Structure 1
């Protein structure tokens, strides 16, 4: 009982920090995935629908791998082993997603079909590793502490370093875009490859800090020593709160991920801004997301406060979306102001959305990985389908009117 009671005490800043950086490799590669993958694939000559097919294959693989990883963790534990295995897959396969088409080299063909298949394979492998890392990292929160404020602090720190990861990516991208002036399609491909390779290097450094500074959670084993009862996945489906949190989390990820994936196209094609804006505008968003996340990390949280802050973030996004829809290209500088509002809205929605999952799990930690896995499944598949539909629509416009509108 003394060990269990000790888990209700607030965690130290060092423990929170080491945990928070453990998702950096996932975050920096995900930022690159959603921000630049579609741009990279269309720049190398793939039609928008084929590019969206590659992303969809990765999202579907991610969704199913998320559920599978959650089930494995709930049965066997070993969070850090799953995290290490996923990180290795991410580091190896992501370099191939932005690399050359391996099957094209093997079969000596550059057809669009073979490129689509080749990139889809590595996109699926990357997302399987990404899912294993994500589920193991997120489900650790409820097994590290029973203190509700510490749980929110862990989620906030994780989200804050998500912002750091994104800022790192956009700093690298801005440097690459400014230092290299592409003259051929090959030069453009190399730009995105350098961004991807440097992203992997940055992420791996922080994964090392996580592995050294974070211990395998003991709370799970201590509670299992007193009760071997495991929460069945069927029991979660009987809870109304499960569906409420699932809907909130899925819509939050749809808003943040889909907008991020199409933002580069919007600022270049619609607003006619400079190429550097592909890095500057997202960077502004994540700077303000980071600041707000740090502020939220220091707050005392209740259920009512979580709902209030999530609602505020949703309202800010509604106004931002209306502004983006109505903004003329002649006033494109206002996009920087909208970026500030989007950053604040993203932080409010993401931190509270993730915290709602901890509230849902509560002390039922024996089934926590299934909750995180199943909700992430909805997130991945819905984002993949949404982007595929949007890009397929763009493909129709391209063939009919001979131009691409994003």
Structure 2
């Protein structure tokens, strides 16, 4: 029988070593989301449709791969003294490094005089990139699943788990800032106010990619050296199958619940507006406002910093004003920033300062909206940890696939409307429409106080503990471990925002003592 009270305090070194284990993924993810399209279309000269197809391919692969890998990854055997989580993590890291390096390394495929070649050759280049994207996205999913699965093996203490997730979030924001700062430096050194990307700028992105891969690999080494995987007996059991029939019944119940669709609409609309702004803000800067290319690094950096700073005031306001009220404030901030961006033009007085002000407001709105959409989703799940993975997973899959489809549709439309005004409407109108959809869904979302849920948790725990056998208790904990792992995996932001991650054990209970822990009431 395994230990049900696997709780101890981690040292500062252990927390640091774990916290840096996802830095490689974070660095690559923000590059993928913010700069992949502009690199393929403006630097390499691929058509908009080809670039959109490649982006859709990547989003689809990671959306499908993440839940599958969550179920299958830990069947790997130990190797050379490495336990299964470390083996799967290092396999994912290798795929990420190889695949991502190929995505930004056209010299392997480009002959001299690339721009004099036909469109057929550019199609061949796009086909060359497709397997590289698949390798990268499969590695990204495997690396993330393995990483978050370490938490249950490190500690069962709720405070420690929240501390680890906070450290992870902090390093994620730091990784985003590092990418923007390095690109800012590289473009500032190369540029003298250039408004377009010459083909030679592929070397700028190449240097950026090799730099972030080196940084990410160094942190990965620290993670593997400083993080010890603790095997628990239930890792060797087929704990997924033990509760499959009950899980299926819960899933059917969710599919019949109107609240599932209301919260899902709000969450997906929030993520879509953030993703569209993240992907197309660089095009808006260079094509609509005709600003120097260096601003494609400065503006996202401002959004990232302001979003991180306002995470904590947003939490404070939600405690005193309520989640829905603060969510509406976030929607109003997003609407105001979109109108502001729409009104900006090349001849606007103090254009730079107004742009930075508008994008700072975007960062505040993104942080607030994503934080509240996650906590409203947590309220929906409350203590039903058995199907928490399904709820987060289904929303995450829908978010990634819909983001890919949306970008692909925009890329198809652009060649038929190649105006500098096109991206003005993309960054202004689409987020406004999605904000309106979120506002319509918000009144139908029920927000139950988590304090009430905690009381119910204590009651349920005491009620169940009087009936459970030792074997039944073992099955509960094993399934909770799997559900926690998959929930934390699919709830991870895929580089789209710097808002606070709320990937934690929802309402986990200590079976022996009847104590209950849950998310803070944001």
TM-score range with shorter-chain normalisation? 0.7 to 0.9
Which structure has greater helix proportion? 1
Q: Whole-Å Cα distance in 1 between the matches of residues 213 and 162 of structure 2? A: 28
Partner of 1:321: 338
Partner of 1:87: 93
- Structure 1, residues 106-148: CA drift from partner, whole Å, max 9, x if none? xx99712211211122112211111222333345556766666
- Structure 1, residues 287-308: CA drift from partner, whole Å, max 9, x if none? 22333457789x8998x96666
Q: Whole-Å Cα distance in 2 between the matches of residues 379 and 14 of structure 1? A: 35
Secondary structure, in 3 states, of the residue corresponding to 2:52? Answer: helix
Q: Whole-Å Cα distance in 1 between the matches of residues 233 and 123 of structure 2? A: 47
Partner of 1:380: 400
TM-score by length of 2: 0.65
| Closer/same/farther in 2, CA of residues 313 and 155 from structure 1, 3 Å limit | farther
Residues 1:29 and 2:28 aligned together: yes
Contact 2:50 2:126 in 1 (8 A): yes
Contact 2:191 2:294 in 1 (8 A): no
Within a 5 Å distance, the mapping from 1:120-131 to structure 2 comes to 120-131=130-141
Comparing 151-160 with 119-128, which one deviates more in the overlay?
A: 151-160
Q: Whole-Å Cα distance in 2 between the matches of residues 359 and 217 of structure 1? A: 31
| Of 358, 362, 365, the match for 1:345 | 365
| Closer/same/farther in 2, CA of residues 6 and 124 from structure 1, 3 Å limit | closer
TM-score by length of 1: 0.81
- Structure 1, residues 291-347: CA drift from partner, whole Å, max 9, x if none? 3457789x8998x96666555444432332232223333143211112222222333
Residues 1:283 and 2:301 aligned together: yes
Partner of 1:98: 104
Partner of 2:174: 164
How many residues of Structure 1 are paired with residues of Structure 2 in the alignment? 399
Within a 5 Å distance, the mapping from 1:224-239 to structure 2 comes to 229-231=242-244, 232=247, 235-239=250-254
Q: Whole-Å Cα distance in 2 between the matches of residues 195 and 372 of structure 1? A: 33
| Of 195, 214, 221, the match for 1:201 | 214
Q: Which has the larger radius of gyration?
A: 2
Comparing 163-172 with 311-320, which one deviates more in the overlay?
A: 311-320
Comparing 227-236 with 314-323, which one deviates more in the overlay?
A: 227-236
Q: Whole-Å Cα distance in 2 between the matches of residues 223 and 357 of structure 1? A: 31
Residues 1:191 and 2:204 aligned together: yes
Q: Whole-Å Cα distance in 2 between the matches of residues 348 and 218 of structure 1? A: 38
Within a 5 Å distance, the mapping from 1:5-404 to structure 2 comes to 5=5, 7=7, 16-42=15-41, 43-73=43-73, 78-100=84-106, 111-138=121-148, 151-181=161-191, 185-216=198-229, 221=234, 229-231=242-244, 232=247, 235-239=250-254, 240=257, 243=261, 246-293=264-311, 312-329=329-346, 330-331=348-349, 332-333=351-352, 334-354=354-374, 373-398=393-418
Q: Whole-Å Cα distance in 2 between the matches of residues 22 and 357 of structure 1? A: 26
| Offset, 1:190 | 1.0
Contact 2:276 2:407 in 1 (8 A): yes
Higher relative contact order (CA 8 A, sep 6+): 1
